[in-house]
Amino acid sequence: MEISKELQEAINDQLNFELYSGYIYLSMAAYFESINLNGMAHWMKIQASEEYEHAMRFWEHISDRAGLVILKTIEGPTREWDSPLAAWENAYEHEKIVTERIFKIGKLAEKLGDKSAIPLLNWFYEEQVEEEEQTQKVADLLRMIGDNQGALFMLDGRLGSREK
């Protein structure tokens, strides 16, 4: 089924938002490098590449259904945070926004009776559970760690071992 203009627009917006997410995480990577938390920086770089993959999933869906992919201007991300915890909290809050946005696309697809978009959206519902969990866990650990520099560097090392 050819994609409707309305759903195409919503998915295009989300494609751009995923690229924006990647941009935010790259900005966080730069921030973490600037304060010598290279493990967190590494984690964020991998996360950024994952966001690019998310964008491409939306891309393929539009393209497979004879739609038109439209790339828009990507807003400049925040460049500095007050602390590593503030950055991870920001990442968690951002992922909650992503989840809400994808739910909204789901509601639109339902309203339009567009069943072809359901498998794609289902994949994202699951993915978002993981995205929220990962960022929330690190924020929780950082709250637990508090001022303990040793524990902070241990956590940083662990995040530096992320492979994909």
Kindly tell me which of 33 and 50 has the beta carbon lying closer to Mg ion: 50
Q: How far is CA 50 from the centre of its chain?
A: 8
Q: Is 102 helix (H, G, I), strand (E, B) or coil?
A: helix
CB 159 to Mg ion: min, Å: 18
CB 4 to Mg ion: min, Å: 23
Kindly tell me which of 45 and 54 has the beta carbon lying closer to Mg ion: 54
Binding segment (CB under 5 A) for Mg ion, from list 51-59, 86-94, 114-122, 153-161: 51-59
Q: Which residue is nearest to Mg ion (CB)?
A: 54
CB 48 to Mg ion: min, Å: 10
In 35-83, alpha helices (H): 38-64
Kindly tell me which of 51 and 89 has the beta carbon lying closer to Mg ion: 51
Residues 20, 51: Cα–Cα separation, whole Å = 8
Distances (CA, A) of 11 to 18, 40, 84, 93, 144: 10, 30, 32, 21, 38
94 binds Mg ion (CB under 5 A): no
Residues 10, 104: Cα–Cα separation, whole Å = 9
Return the sign of the alpha-carbon dihedral for residues 60, 64, 67, 68: positive
Question: Which residue in 25, 37, 43, 54 binds Mg ion (CB under 5 A)?
Answer: 54
Stretch 2-41: interaction string toward Mg ion, x if CB under 5 A? ----------------x-----------------------
Radius of gyration of the CA atoms of the chain, in A: 17
User: What number of chain residues touch Mg ion (CB under 5 A)?
Assistant: 3
Place of tokens 């990442």: 91
Cβ count near 137 (within 10 Å)? 12
CB 32 to Mg ion: min, Å: 19
CB 24 to Mg ion: min, Å: 10
By CB under 5 A, name the binding residues for Mg ion. 18, 51, 54
